[in-house]
A and B are shown apart, each in its own frame.
Chain A
């Protein structure tokens, strides 16, 4: 299949679905390309080409570690955020009797927890508040001395609320010092400051494609003192935790994408937050019935989740698409064959509310916000 202009965005279109994926930074794409066309050696090979690839691997690991305030030896490259979450969830629970997760985890954690429950592990779910946050005290109450694992996402992927993961980790450790605390930071990376040296986490999941890297690349940070069982067995790469010849194009790209995201964050995060607020204000001013999901005081800089009573989410998405604005849609009820959103249900969004997630990135431009708001307002009016 040829990939041509039909598959790409037009210059006048506005991409506000960065929570789903992001445009790959051309510098990152160039790095991945050179890892395929130039430094394509196997890092395990003993010769010069292997050494060159191994240096790239070392460099990428150092880039990720530096951005997180971690040691390079704590970084394991994976195929993405889902695999990083799976490695922690499955790797830390081989003999588990009890695990605790939040009530609005990404499916890669929620479904992994469900699989543990089917295996006979007791799973406690911590319900979020209507404002979209889970309380450290609730986790502290849920854990017991034998709890093997606690998992919580840092930024809720659908509604964008920031979870108090530091406080959660400390509260858990106070009750159960040997419990493995895993944090899904896929939506936090590049938006919130991350300093793992100071954290009480045991592991943390990352993904490249939410920060202008490619799909198919991610990483798990695993504290030196923590132990996990691998999901697959092989030639001992990644300290045996994730064997298989390293996916060098993705790894090189992830390293650079993480470095660029960390460099840009101090300037980009407050700018995204400002644009997000402008977007909200423009929409709320024109459409008095619009609701905002999640406590604004807890909002990550890049996500605006809004609801429209008595509308259907999918047609709204397509109406926006027709105006050149790309977003995500969801609702608490199932529109025909679509699955309802457990997150929206968990925070008490009524079934008849159509929800749009508008998600920004550091590449979102100021001039796009007013136009996007106009498009949302026009689409809602068309469909009302």
Chain B
């Protein structure tokens, strides 16, 4: 039992997504979540993560709760967060805290909201049942503040949780990002451009527990240093979600593109050829990094290279699975996510897309694998991919919100 004098009077209750609570992986997932949470608060002096039953307790350090909430609100695997008052496991103390919380709410709203009380006992030895606790606390709020109870659609819900050492009282619950703790699924190599889609694809996979490495294809002079800087900033924004550095592989791609273009005749297959080469390069990067899949921001039929036929031909260039989490998104849906995760404003800065290079107005929408392979047979595509990897450089990109 901790010294009560040293116990902070507030903390953040962290609830995790219930979905992974079942099965054999549970303790592995939980431990990963705890490790990630500890990394999330590592920059906050004195902040501490405690593992409890189906909860994490995030104890504030010097920064108080707002900084702690900010650090934890991006933790994948978290269903919701509640900044809470910490009180002794005593009904009177709980009642007093609940009344104080609701009094503050009334002051903030400037009127009386409807409310209900929801209680939860982690420690079933507590003498009162959850229903009884709710009833008692609700009665105090009605008695002292005269607020109306509404059990179906309350404007405010007072939460009471009885833990083993303390009880917690809160009215605010912030939604977490959901998903799975980063690192539980495995590593993927993301083909990251300066556009809107690929950062969203990376984020969606992070959300499903993937660790992300990113590969960027740089086509100087068709793309300039600013485009690379922009991609680096996008990688930093993703790093802030996976709570770890992103290794950005910068691949000089101009020579490869020129060789492919020179063989591509009228250029109608140029984009498919470029993208197949990107797959080969990314596969090599992925295997060296221990990644189990490639990921792209491709969306079905969004542009000419993204027809089913062309996606099939592009995907055939690698034996790794190609994950396309944006595949079925409308552009507006992807944009909405980009805005929410903070990549949109960076993505819409002007940039040059190396895939627009040497491309005719009407590219092929139904590429045939045999036709593409016939063009590639005139080149040593594996040697070209090897050369791209050999000349690539790594940038370690730190998290940047």
**A and B together in one complex:** yes
The chain A residues found within 8 Å of chain B, CB to CB, are 312, 314-319, 321-322, 335-339, 383
Q: List 13 A-B contacts (CB under 8 A).
A: A314-B224, A314-B352, A315-B221, A315-B222, A316-B221, A317-B224, A318-B221, A318-B223, A319-B221, A321-B221, A336-B353, A337-B350, A337-B351
Q: Which residue of B lies closest to A383 (CB)?
A: B221
Contact A336 B224 (CB under 8 A): no
Q: Which residue of A lies closest to B224 (CB)?
A: A318
Contact A322 B350 (CB under 8 A): no
Please, which residues of chain B bring their CB within 8 A of the CB of A312? Answer: 222
Q: Is B259 an interface residue, CB under 8 A from the partner?
A: no
- Whole-angstrom distance from the CB of B297 to the nearest CB of chain A? 15
- Whole-angstrom distance from the CB of A323 to the nearest CB of chain B? 10
Please, which residues of chain A bring their CB within 8 A of the CB of B222? Answer: 312, 314-315, 318
Please, which residues of chain B bring their CB within 8 A of the CB of A314? Answer: 222, 224, 352
- Whole-angstrom distance from the CB of A56 to the nearest CB of chain B? 37
Contact A336 B352 (CB under 8 A): yes
- Which 10 pairs, one residue from A and one from B, show the smallest C-beta to C-beta distance? A318-B221, A319-B221, A338-B350, A315-B222, A318-B224, A315-B221, A337-B350, A314-B352, A336-B353, A337-B351
Contact B220 A322 (CB under 8 A): yes
Contact A322 B352 (CB under 8 A): no
Q: Which residue of B lies closest to A334 (CB)?
A: B350
- Whole-angstrom distance from the CB of B354 to the nearest CB of chain A? 10
Please, which residues of chain B bring their CB within 8 A of the CB of A322? Answer: 220-221
Q: Is B374 an interface residue, CB under 8 A from the partner?
A: no
Q: Is B356 an interface residue, CB under 8 A from the partner?
A: yes
- Whole-angstrom distance from the CB of A191 to the nearest CB of chain B? 29
Q: Is B348 an interface residue, CB under 8 A from the partner?
A: yes
Contact A339 B350 (CB under 8 A): yes
Contact B220 A318 (CB under 8 A): yes
- A contact face: mostly helix, strand, loop, or mixed: helix
Please, which residues of chain B bring their CB within 8 A of the CB of A338? Answer: 350
Contact B350 A315 (CB under 8 A): no
- Whole-angstrom distance from the CB of B221 to the nearest CB of chain A? 3
Please, which residues of chain B bring their CB within 8 A of the CB of A318? Answer: 220-224
Q: Which residue of A lies closest to B353 (CB)?
A: A336
Please, which residues of chain A bring their CB within 8 A of the CB of B350? Answer: 336-339
Please, which residues of chain B bring their CB within 8 A of the CB of A316? Answer: 221
Interface residues of B in 313-360 (CB under 8 A from A): 348-353, 356
In the assembled complex, the Cα of A11 lies from the Cα of B349 at a distance in Å of 31
In the assembled complex, the Cα of A338 lies from the Cα of B348 at a distance in Å of 10
In the assembled complex, the Cα of A316 lies from the Cα of B352 at a distance in Å of 12
Q: Which residue of A lies closest to B223 (CB)?
A: A318
- Whole-angstrom distance from the CB of A111 to the nearest CB of chain B? 17
In the assembled complex, the Cα of A318 lies from the Cα of B220 at a distance in Å of 7
In the assembled complex, the Cα of A314 lies from the Cα of B220 at a distance in Å of 10
Please, which residues of chain A bring their CB within 8 A of the CB of B353? Answer: 336
Q: Per a CB cutoff under 8 Å, which of A336, A339, A383 touches B351?
A: A336
Interface residues of B in 201-225 (CB under 8 A from A): 220-224
In the assembled complex, the Cα of A319 lies from the Cα of B222 at a distance in Å of 8
In the assembled complex, the Cα of A315 lies from the Cα of B224 at a distance in Å of 8
Q: Which residue of A lies closest to B220 (CB)?
A: A318
In the assembled complex, the Cα of A316 lies from the Cα of B348 at a distance in Å of 22
Q: Which residue of B lies closest to A338 (CB)?
A: B350
Q: Which residue of B lies closest to A319 (CB)?
A: B221
Please, which residues of chain A bring their CB within 8 A of the CB of B349? Answer: 337
- Whole-angstrom distance from the CB of A336 to the nearest CB of chain B? 5
- Whole-angstrom distance from the CB of A139 to the nearest CB of chain B? 33
- Whole-angstrom distance from the CB of B356 to the nearest CB of chain A? 6
- Whole-angstrom distance from the CB of A326 to the nearest CB of chain B? 11
In the assembled complex, the Cα of A312 lies from the Cα of B356 at a distance in Å of 11
Known: A315-B221, A315-B352, A337-B351. 15 other contacts (CB 8 A): A314-B222, A314-B224, A317-B221, A319-B221, A321-B221, A322-B221, A336-B350, A336-B351, A336-B353, A336-B356, A337-B348, A337-B349, A337-B350, A338-B350, A339-B350
Q: Among B221, B223, B224, B352, which residue has the most Cβ atoms of chain A within 10 A?
A: B221
In the assembled complex, the Cα of A336 lies from the Cα of B227 at a distance in Å of 13
In the assembled complex, the Cα of A44 lies from the Cα of B218 at a distance in Å of 53
Please, which residues of chain A bring their CB within 8 A of the CB of B348? Answer: 337
**1/0 contact trace for B360-394 toward A, CB 8 Å?**
00000000000000000000000000000000000
Please, which residues of chain B bring their CB within 8 A of the CB of A339? Answer: 350
Please, which residues of chain A bring their CB within 8 A of the CB of B220? Answer: 318, 322
- Whole-angstrom distance from the CB of A339 to the nearest CB of chain B? 7
Please, which residues of chain A bring their CB within 8 A of the CB of B352? Answer: 314-315, 335-336
Q: Which residue of A lies closest to B194 (CB)?
A: A337
- Whole-angstrom distance from the CB of A7 to the nearest CB of chain B? 11
- Whole-angstrom distance from the CB of A171 to the nearest CB of chain B? 38
Please, which residues of chain A bring their CB within 8 A of the CB of B223? Answer: 318
- Whole-angstrom distance from the CB of B327 to the nearest CB of chain A? 23
In the assembled complex, the Cα of A317 lies from the Cα of B223 at a distance in Å of 10
In the assembled complex, the Cα of A322 lies from the Cα of B348 at a distance in Å of 26
In the assembled complex, the Cα of A23 lies from the Cα of B356 at a distance in Å of 34
**1/0 contact trace for B64-108 toward A, CB 8 Å?**
000000000000000000000000000000000000000000000
- Whole-angstrom distance from the CB of A381 to the nearest CB of chain B? 13
- Whole-angstrom distance from the CB of A138 to the nearest CB of chain B? 33
Q: Which residue of B lies closest to A314 (CB)?
A: B352
Please, which residues of chain B bring their CB within 8 A of the CB of A317? Answer: 221, 224
